[in-house]
Chain A
Amino acid sequence: MIDGQYLLRRIGYSGAAFFVCVTITFFILHLMPGDYITNYLLSLSNTLPKEAVEQFYQQYGLDRPLPEQYMIYILNILQGNWGYSYQYGLPVFPMIMEKLSWSLVILLPATVTGILIGTVLGAWSGWKSGGKKDLALFNIMIVFRAIPEFWWAIMAVWIFAFYLQWFPLGGFTSISVLTSGMDPWDVLYHAILPIGLMASFIAAGNYYVMRNSMIAVIGEDYITTARAKGLDERAVLWRHALKNALLPMATMTTFQIAGIIMGNVFIETVFSWPGIGLLTTEALSIRDLPLLEGIFLLDALMTIGAMLTADILASYLDPRIRMGGHD
């Protein structure tokens, strides 16, 4: 049912966006003083035979002209060959994939609950906009969002882990892992505080978007039409307001994902959670460029993918896009 041309265009834009990202990382690597291979090899050993260096040059195509190197680079990226970390000497791609799985332990539950809570609260607040309860919640959210994420995280560690000692100070597992192996419950116990914080950040962001969107919708004429039919408030909300109010949420996904990526870096850094976020901080502190580029490409892939998904979802919800005739 979905308008094919629209879908193709969105996929085209997404591809182009990733292409731009890859181009940026390629040029950064090539603008570096010295070249990537020399830097990488020197990080392994200072005394390398000349033949070995030349072999590497050939293998990576560094003796070829720039356009050709560019093509090789793109092919490498597409095949999951994302270069080697300076610090760890390991291939970047498997490394960040392993870290990603740790990040997802926090991000998946946090995103689901955060979006759910934020959307429900925002819809409720917008529906009741102007009322005392709405204004109270709205003001709380403004204050919550104004305080930086890492500061919330530090305060949470201080209060819940240090003073109340309800949760561990950080890390992903207790010291007992050395004797009795990894225990999923123990990991969960370490993850609760970061998940809760991350979910709150996501909920707060969602709340604001949803409230605005709902306020715009309840001023629409079709809401009056629905009431004029004799529908009760609940039916007006569920059948007429909610679906329309959800539509703009999709276009806000980029900002949401960007916020989640940023929040994740701070949360993992404060809680020493061994995921992408902590890896970003570590890589930044030692200026491990290939690793940072890998993280950037992964973040770009996630954002672009999320935006594409949201677009398709929105076009499914909105018949004006689904059936074409709408840009």
Chain B
Amino acid sequence: MTRNILLLLSVAILCMYFAIAACAPFIAPYTASEITGAPLQPPGNGHLFGTNQVGQDIFSQLVYGAQITLVFGFGSALLSVAISTWAGTVLGYYGGRVDEVVCRILDVMMPIPTFPLLIVLTAFFNPGVIQVSILMGVLGSIHGIRLIRAPALSLSQTPFVEGAKSIGASDFHIISRHILPNLMPIVTTKFVSSSQHYLVMGVGLSFIGLWDTMTVDWGSMIQNAYAYGALSLGLWWWILPPGIAVVGISLALALAGYSLEEIFNPRVGVNRI
């Protein structure tokens, strides 16, 4: 019961974030890069969270920053889960030599650390938000394919799939009607947990300077405030809003992920007879 309430609550929070990102031009009084007044203004006087060291409106940056953060987090998760589901299902269903070869390749790729590789690749390509999301999604799917392949394989060997095959159902029909629907719980849970993971990783990468200085998102806002000593100067309104924004969405996604896991896979554990 409480799990369902938590899930609803976290979905409501996520919807709010999306609404803010989508309606950014109507909510934010200024653009993210526009210099709107004196630097380092405290909250008030038309600046809800004051201004930063060059006089940009922190509230407007926060609202526009949501767009970049959400695109990165959800875009890369969507791509990664799409690739994993497609490849995992096909490999698990058809099996054979291709499956064997791909699994060996995945075995080899498994220990390669994604995070520093991503840093090297972005330092080389100097890409924008969309491109980094694509890179992240592709690299992240290495782990996901394995995760989807195992249940897809066991589903392919269940009596209802064997039965469907024996009456001559097409592969497409079997995969779309029998296998994919049964994979949905694991795919959904993976999508939610990946979104949280990639979103936090994206903000972190931006915090250590992944984007150019023109791209404003929550990570670069925190980095900027931290680097200019917002903490030691006591300018909490500069650093706290982007931080709380990240913590809020990350918590909502984590709660949604764990609630989904409990709902799809109730692990009372001790209830076996």
Direct contact of A and B (CB under 8 A): yes
The B interface is mostly helix, strand or loop, or mixed, namely: helix
16 interchain pairs (CB within 8 A)? Answer: A13-B107, A28-B121, A142-B254, A143-B254, A146-B196, A146-B251, A148-B250, A151-B222, A261-B113, A262-B201, A287-B126, A292-B116, A296-B113, A300-B113, A300-B117, A303-B111
Closest to B271 in A: A219
8 A Cβ contacts from B207-225 to A: 207-210, 222
Q: Tell me if B77 counts as interface (CB < 8 A to partner A).
A: no
Residues of the B chain whose Cβ atoms lie less than 8 Å from the Cβ of A296:
113, 116-117, 119-120
Does A304 contact B111, Cβ atoms closer than 8 Å? Answer: yes
How many A-B contacts at CB < 8 Å in the complex? 141
Q: A254-B111, A284-B210 are in contact. Are A158 and B231 (CB under 8 A)?
A: yes
Q: Which of A18-26, A42-50, A63-71, A313-321 contacts B (4 or more CB under 8 A)?
A: A18-26
Residues of the B chain whose Cβ atoms lie less than 8 Å from the Cβ of A189:
none
Residues of the B chain whose Cβ atoms lie less than 8 Å from the Cβ of A17:
108-112
Q: By CB atoms of chain A within 10 A, which of B121, B196, B200, B251 has the most?
A: B200
Q: Tell me if A203 counts as interface (CB < 8 A to partner B).
A: no
Does B108 contact A292, Cβ atoms closer than 8 Å? Answer: no
Does A129 contact B115, Cβ atoms closer than 8 Å? Answer: no
Q: Which of A115-123, A232-240, A264-272 contacts B (4 or more CB under 8 A)?
A: A264-272
Residues of the A chain whose Cβ atoms lie less than 8 Å from the Cβ of B107:
13
Q: From the candidates B115, B210, B267, name the one contacting A215 in the complex (CB within 8 A).
A: B267
Closest to A215 in B: B269
Residues of the B chain whose Cβ atoms lie less than 8 Å from the Cβ of A145:
254
8 A Cβ contacts from A118-160 to B: 129-130, 142-143, 145-151, 154, 157-158
Q: Tell me if B170 counts as interface (CB < 8 A to partner A).
A: no
Q: Tell me if B243 counts as interface (CB < 8 A to partner A).
A: yes
Does B116 contact A280, Cβ atoms closer than 8 Å? Answer: yes
Minimum CB–CB distance for B259 against chain A, Å: 10
The A interface is mostly helix, strand or loop, or mixed, namely: helix
Minimum CB–CB distance for B112 against chain A, Å: 6
Does B232 contact A258, Cβ atoms closer than 8 Å? Answer: no
8 A Cβ contacts from B226-255 to A: 226, 231-232, 239, 243, 246-247, 250-251, 253-255
Residues of the A chain whose Cβ atoms lie less than 8 Å from the Cβ of B208:
265-266, 269, 280-281, 284-285
Q: Tell me if B167 counts as interface (CB < 8 A to partner A).
A: no
Q: In the bound complex, what is the Cα–Cα distance between A296 and B139 (angstroms)? A: 15
Minimum CB–CB distance for A110 against chain B, Å: 18
Q: Tell me if B272 counts as interface (CB < 8 A to partner A).
A: yes
Does B270 contact A219, Cβ atoms closer than 8 Å? Answer: yes
Residues of the B chain whose Cβ atoms lie less than 8 Å from the Cβ of A295:
116, 119
Q: Tell me if A182 counts as interface (CB < 8 A to partner B).
A: no
In the complex, the 8 A-B pairs of residues with the closest C-beta atoms, listed nearest first: A146-B254, A296-B116, A281-B208, A285-B209, A299-B116, A307-B111, A16-B108, A304-B111
Q: In the bound complex, what is the Cα–Cα distance between A150 and B226 (angstroms)? A: 11
Q: From the candidates B111, B113, B254, B269, name the one contacting A130 in the complex (CB within 8 A).
A: B269
Residues of the B chain whose Cβ atoms lie less than 8 Å from the Cβ of A283:
123
Q: A16-B108, A28-B124, A142-B255 are in contact. Are A149 and B232 (CB under 8 A)?
A: no
Minimum CB–CB distance for A93 against chain B, Å: 16
Q: Tell me if A72 counts as interface (CB < 8 A to partner B).
A: no
Q: Tell me if B98 counts as interface (CB < 8 A to partner A).
A: no
Residues of the A chain whose Cβ atoms lie less than 8 Å from the Cβ of B203:
148
Minimum CB–CB distance for A102 against chain B, Å: 17
Q: In the bound complex, what is the Cα–Cα distance between A162 and B234 (angstroms)? A: 10
Q: In the bound complex, what is the Cα–Cα distance between A158 and B120 (angstroms)? A: 31
Q: A218-B270, A287-B123, A292-B123 are in contact. Are A20 and B108 (CB under 8 A)?
A: yes
Minimum CB–CB distance for B238 against chain A, Å: 12
Q: Tell me if A7 counts as interface (CB < 8 A to partner B).
A: no
Does A284 contact B124, Cβ atoms closer than 8 Å? Answer: no
Does A154 contact B243, Cβ atoms closer than 8 Å? Answer: yes
Q: In the bound complex, what is the Cα–Cα distance between A21 and B112 (angstroms)? A: 7
Closest to B236 in A: A158
Does B204 contact A149, Cβ atoms closer than 8 Å? Answer: yes
Minimum CB–CB distance for A171 against chain B, Å: 14
8 A Cβ contacts from A282-327 to B: 283-285, 287-289, 292-293, 295-296, 299-300, 303-304, 307
Residues of the B chain whose Cβ atoms lie less than 8 Å from the Cβ of A254:
110-111
Supply 7 further A-B pairs (C-beta < 8 A) apart from A17-B109, A21-B117, A148-B203.
A142-B254, A146-B253, A162-B232, A215-B267, A257-B113, A261-B113, A307-B111
Q: In the bound complex, what is the Cα–Cα distance between A265 and B204 (angstroms)? A: 9
Q: By CB atoms of chain A within 10 A, which of B196, B207, B272 has the most?
A: B207
Does A280 contact B119, Cβ atoms closer than 8 Å? Answer: yes
Q: A20-B109, A266-B208, A289-B124 are in contact. Are A284 and B119 (CB under 8 A)?
A: yes
Q: Tell me if A164 counts as interface (CB < 8 A to partner B).
A: no
Closest to B200 in A: A148
8 A Cβ contacts from A217-250 to B: 218-219
The proximity string for A residues 1-45 relative to B, scoring 1 for CB distances below 8 Å and 0 otherwise, is: 000000000000110110011001100100110000000000000
